Chain A
């Protein structure tokens, strides 16, 4: 085992709430990056991948625990790392060359040496001739090459990448990925380790020597294993697809223990820690759920999630919330990475819109605590309306501000679709749905008639 360059010891991240409650974003986690390895960090959105990356680089201080750089606390060490950002984070008012020179300028390197080094690295990443261009004149792929040049010009010991290829089209991403791998394997760059955050499972399996999968609520390491496939890796090879399938299974079964690892890798699973009052609403739209169910039905009511994603050309991040939502509503069951439609799910997929809404309404009230509470609160008020703030405050105890807003947005979306309630955006209040109101009036009228 190589010595660790960066080692995190029981780092966690939480936000303190005024009510002494705290929102745990990442639970205490141990993690280290050793010389000579490419580490990939996978996880669904909201599992704190980026937060973890920022703590490891020293950009953001952990709420508790400590990060060490060569066994020295990272805040006091002269850290030599770089980050390649998803949005490239280039300065649009500087030329390509000035962008690449900027970090060297910060280190006080003299002008001639700076120029020489920058030109050399531009040559390495295939940007010679573009030094006088401005980033906005370049294509996305070329821009990310500038991002790589800027990251590599300081000869970082560890190169961090935060979803570096996800803003690029598939072919460009593939091309850049293989060039990076080539630089790394031929030791053209003096970088000792690479740490890549991604939500693309195949990308992780293609690049990494070690894969860490995070779970969410709060973020925690679910599994951490080595990949011993030989480079160059073949996407079509059975060992490759087996590994991809395995990671899919881990990701689609957030509650279960990770299943036994396939033969090609070794490692130890880490315990899952979840303890929450509200379940997290997956951010899926009712239309998306219906679409997915119809697709599963077309595949004879049962199929591999990996294959479904492939069919839809969806990233796992786009598909998982929909699968989660269908599962939450009892329309779908997921076992071993296979999604199977339930009888209610079948009926939902086959019904016309009004019946669909009815089924959705029943399922939502039965299974989703937040929606049930909103409906009850509206019913118990004489004016049939409840301020949004009321639920905002309750959710706030458990979720971060950003997530609370997204939870409410999803709840409003589902509630409106199911005609459980309506939402008055200008007054920010939940109000009784027009239809329910009419029905209630009719039934009281009927009672009086009787």
Chain B
């Protein structure tokens, strides 16, 4: 062995260190610059938003149709959707958490969620808007908050459901492990509950944000009684362009919207999905993975790494130390505490429950009293509208199934076709149908079609993708030996469909139909009532009634129509979809 001189051995580590630094610096340094730039941009954006929001309210904002205004508008819309999404995420996590762990509240909270998600966005509009404007009467902030809360009401419920059901399905032994090792609630949240729920939350986030784009036009520009609200944004731009019948402006708006959606997909969702791969609750490593170059770059960034090392780690460390001390203190308190305080807390709880119940009862009675002045004709009108929308929703589902089932099965059964068709379908599905709607309507008007066809077309455009993607997934999941049996015994085409394909895709088809049905009901508020070319195109239906009542500020009609719609959605869920779901899970489940 060669004995190295003292000087050399001291020198070498420093040299190699220097060299590795130089070598590794190439990429990450550039990356750090990018991240710094992003930080600065964020700062500017916040300042910009704050200045606009703190300004005087501009309820009658004149929406410019010049393409030059578009980046500006797009920025405001993205911020709005982003904030609404963050709000949804926070709400979904807290709501789901309480519902999963508070046994007394659980049933009520889930029932509330079930009803709330069946109420269309526009029905939330008057209370939300009036409350927000009352809160911030002299600031733009009030109107902005209103729009954000409105988008929030359209995207939060499925996320809350997802988080709740994830919490409920955490394996018992993992939960027990956190108990036996005295995890604090915070540690349990970050090390067990959030990771376990992450994948479901991410997929539902994607759906929620897509929904937000769908309803953006309704949320950025609306009438409420005599007041006309317009917020600068992509949605109001498209709406104004449709109103003016300006085809060029519509195309510009559409192009920007698609650009943003594709960018979000590449910059946000794909990295997130790739990152969430480690939260898959599986014991064996799967071979197929989604990769994302963006995620790869982020994990390489030294700036981010040192931020986490210098700032996040010490913070969490001190948090955990404090929580541990808190636990020991609480344990000591437990040994010395008297049972008297329990009685007191029970009394407090009972009083609280009574007060809440009384308040709810009072408000409900007041709301019902609101319905009293409604003439009998209004009831009849709403009833007719309900039937018309019901038929329309189901016709849209039928039409959607009629083309998606054969196409989906064809795509799913042929890997070659799937490779080509699936990305195309994904791009087509990511364009919000409402943005295409004006184009479609203009074309329909030109050839002499009316809103009757238009409304079904919009429902179809908005909901067919859920069915198509589910059917493709179902067709892929049919085991090849079942198909081989069908070929071996020379099944006729009809027999093959009846005994292999339809039962095989059944559970997936039901999942797609349930989602599509909910989406179609919700879409009826836009599909049946649309201002275009300076006039309002509408057809008879519950959605049209709701839209009209919101615009005209007729709250009794709005309340009744909303109640009828919620009732119909919840009832069909209970009577039709839930039994079908159960059937799918028992009889048509493939495998054990």
Contacts and interface: CB of A to CB of B under 8 A. Distances in A.
B183 A106 contact: yes
Given A89-B173, A92-B281, A92-B282, A110 B317 contact: yes
Contacts of A447: none
A86 B321 CA distance: 30
Contacts of A109: 324
Contacts of B187: 102, 105-106
Interface centre among B181, B183, B324, B334 (most CB of A within 10 A): B181
B323 interface: yes
A91 B191 contact: yes
B180 interface: yes
Interface residues of A, number: 37
A103 interface: yes
B280 A102 contact: no
Nearest to B282: A136
A18 interface: no
Contact of B335 (A54, A76, A105, A134): A76
A108 interface: yes
Interface in A48-85: 54, 57, 59, 72, 75-78, 81-83, 85
Interface in A159-179: none
Contacts of A75: 334
Interface residues of B, number: 38
Given A85-B173, A103-B181, A425-B586, A111 B317 contact: yes
A83 B177 contact: yes
Contacts of A105: 187, 320
Contact of A93 (B180, B182, B195, B325): B195
Given A107-B182, A426-B587, A85 B278 contact: no
B42 interface: no
B173 A108 contact: no
B324 A93 contact: no
A94 interface: yes
Contacts, number: 88
A146 to B, nearest CB: 12
A135 interface: yes
Contact of A102 (B173, B183, B322, B328): B183
B180 A78 contact: no
Contacts of A426: 583, 587
B556 to A, nearest CB: 43
Interface string B165-194: 000000101101101111110010001100
B321 A110 contact: yes
A160 to B, nearest CB: 8
Contact of B283 (A59, A76, A107, A135): A135
A87 interface: yes
A67 to B, nearest CB: 14
B283 A136 contact: yes
A83 B182 contact: no
A108 B320 contact: yes
Interface string B284-301: 110000000000000000
Nearest to A102: B191
B325 A154 contact: no
A102 B324 CA distance: 12
B29 interface: no
A280 to B, nearest CB: 24
A91 B587 CA distance: 33
A123 interface: no
B37 interface: no
A57 B171 CA distance: 19
A159 to B, nearest CB: 11
A103 B184 CA distance: 10
B175 to A, nearest CB: 9
B278 A134 contact: yes
Given A76-B331, A105-B187, A92 B177 contact: no
Interface in B173-229: 173-174, 176-177, 179-184, 187, 191-192, 195
Interface of A: 54, 57, 59, 72, 75-78, 81-83, 85-87, 89, 91-94, 102-103, 105-111, 134-137, 143, 150, 154, 425-426
26 contacts: A54-B176, A76-B335, A78-B331, A82-B180, A83-B176, A89-B173, A91-B174, A91-B195, A92-B280, A92-B282, A92-B283, A93-B279, A102-B191, A106-B183, A106-B184, A108-B320, A108-B324, A108-B325, A109-B324, A135-B283, A136-B284, A136-B285, A137-B285, A150-B181, A154-B181, A426-B587
Given A77-B331, A92-B278, 18 more contacts: A59-B176, A76-B331, A78-B328, A87-B171, A89-B173, A91-B174, A91-B191, A91-B195, A92-B283, A105-B320, A106-B181, A106-B182, A106-B323, A107-B324, A108-B322, A108-B323, A136-B283, A426-B587
Interface of B: 171, 173-174, 176-177, 179-184, 187, 191-192, 195, 278-285, 313, 317, 320-325, 328, 331, 334-335, 583, 586-587
